[in-house]
């Protein structure tokens, strides 16, 4: 019998996280999809709020059984944003503790845990993808996404090196034609 799965999908703005997570949700049974957003407060008090948010999320995850969980962004985003200067605080100590918690999740024997980093091999595609009709807070610049992508890919190397139970997948998302094929390559055992 296949294990349940926790899939955390990360990547820069405009890389296709919503499309990716929606597809997984539609093709996996007994699956919850969580879309997490950050905290508007970029000061140290915002750091305390987001830290508490993730501590409570881990309590929830540790008590879940018999369910697949897909996350569209988590604490990895907070660390990337902190590294590239979007926050006034360093998130690194909190990030390290949360990463260790994820790697040692209480019910890890019941779950496969994946960190999926979406990226574009052709960074020029971000210029096309930024031209979307979105709310003001969701608008972004291509250069910002490229900067984020480079940090996420560095982070993927670190997570792969520093954890034992988290499977890291670097998922190129340039081509819609091979999108479904690539998802099935990694996640077919969990799909309907």
How far is Cα 127 from Cα 1, in angstroms, rounded to an integer? 44
Instruction: For each of the domains in the chain, give its residue range(s) and CATH number, in order of start.
Output: 4-190 (3.40.50.300)
Pull the structure tokens for residue 31.
Answer: 């699956």
User: From the CA atom positions of the chain, what is the Rg in Å?
Assistant: 16
pLDDT in tens, 124-141: 998 888 766 654 444 568
How far is Cα 45 from Cα 113, in angstroms, rounded to an integer? 30
Contact 12, 146 (CB under 8 A): yes
DSSP calls for 38-93: --S--SHHHHHHHHHHHHHHHHHHHH--S-EEEEES-HHHHHHHHHTTSSSS--HH
- For the segment 32-57, the average pLDDT, to the nearest whole number, is 91
Contacts for 113 with CB less than 8 Å, ≥ 6 apart: 5, 6, 8, 102, 103, 105, 165, 166, 167
- Higher-pLDDT residue of 63 and 115 is 115
Contacts for 181 with CB less than 8 Å, ≥ 6 apart: none
How far is Cα 4 from Cα 67, in angstroms, rounded to an integer? 6
At 115, is the secondary structure helix, strand, or coil? Answer: strand
What is this structure's pTM?
0.92
pLDDT in tens, 162-189: 999 999 999 999 988 888 888 999 999 9
Helices (H) and strands (E) in the chain, counts: 7, 5
């Amino acid at each position: 019998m296949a294990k349940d799965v926790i899939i955390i999908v990360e990547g820069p703005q405009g890389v296709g996280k919503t499309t990716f997570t929606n597809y997984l949700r539609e093709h996996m049974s007994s699956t919850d999809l969580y879309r997490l957003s950050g905290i508007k407060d970029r000061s140290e008090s915002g750091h305390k709020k987001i830290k508490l948010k993730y501590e409570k999320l881990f309590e929830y995850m540790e008590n879940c059984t018999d369910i697949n969980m897909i996350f569209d962004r988590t604490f990895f985003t907070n660390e990337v944003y902190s590294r590239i200067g979007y926050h006034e605080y360093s998130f690194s100590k909190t990030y390290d503790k949360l990463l260790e918690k994820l790697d040692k999740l209480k019910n890890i024997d019941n779950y496969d845990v994946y960190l999926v980093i979406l990226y574009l091999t052709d960074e020029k595609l971000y210029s096309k993808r930024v031209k979307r009709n979105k709310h003001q807070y969701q608008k972004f610049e291509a250069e910002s996404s490229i900067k984020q992508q480079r940090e996420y890919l560095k982070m993927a190397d670190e997570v792969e090196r520093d954890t034992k139970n988290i499977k890291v997948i670097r998922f190129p998302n340039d081509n819609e034609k091979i999108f479904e094929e690539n998802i099935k390559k990694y996640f077919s055992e969990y799909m309907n």
